[in-house]
Structure 1
């Protein structure tokens, strides 16, 4: 079982819609970052301009440094590869925000 610590991190992908615009990011606070994207708190950012707010994929890493490496790796791959990665676990491109929060609750309590 994975366990969140202050050194943990997440790589995540957001989409504007199914097969829409994609964004790859990394964070140590996935709940907070998800909220920031959904509420458009970063005005004129890429995700704000293109309304990229659906959390369609995420991956936990015990160490933030590993999450940063993975983010760079994913950004290097072509769009088709990223779509396959999303659809391995989320064929319908549903917003996984609720699932992510439930995962976090089980890790913390």
Structure 2
């Protein structure tokens, strides 16, 4: 089963990172305030990026890696997606595939 890691920008400009098997469904859940307390409180603004992983284990490692980053680092990588792909491969040995935003 394919898993996805996604980053959502909230209305207060904070960034939320999560994993799912269905990005569209999960995004709609976040919009409705279902599932994650953080996005229910902060309210979402938009989906910034998502990318596919081969399995849950890879997705969880990447999610944890991104969540440990500072806000400034996340913002930098959102502006330079190729750098994000490179650092994930360098640090975790995982190749990601960035997907188009729907």
User: TM above 0.5, one fold?
Assistant: yes
TM-score normalized by the length of structure 1: 0.67
Q: Name the structure 2 match of 1:80.
A: 72
Are the aligned partners of 2:48 and 2:101 in contact in 1 as well (CA < 8 Å)?
no
> How far off its partner does 1:66 sit?
0.5
TM-score normalized by the length of structure 2: 0.71
Unpaired runs of at least 5, structure 2: 82-99
Number of aligned positions between the proteins: 84
Structure 1 consecutive aligned stretches of length 4 or more whose deviation exceeds 2 Å: none
- The CA RMSD over aligned residues, in Å, is 2.0
Unpaired runs of at least 5, structure 1: 1-6, 90-98, 102-109
Whose strand proportion is higher, 1 or 2? 2
Tell me which of the two structures has the higher relative contact order, counting C-alpha pairs closer than 8 angstroms and 6 or more residues apart: 1
CA deviation map 1:58-100 (0-9, x unaligned): 11112121111100011111111110121225xxxxxxxxx44
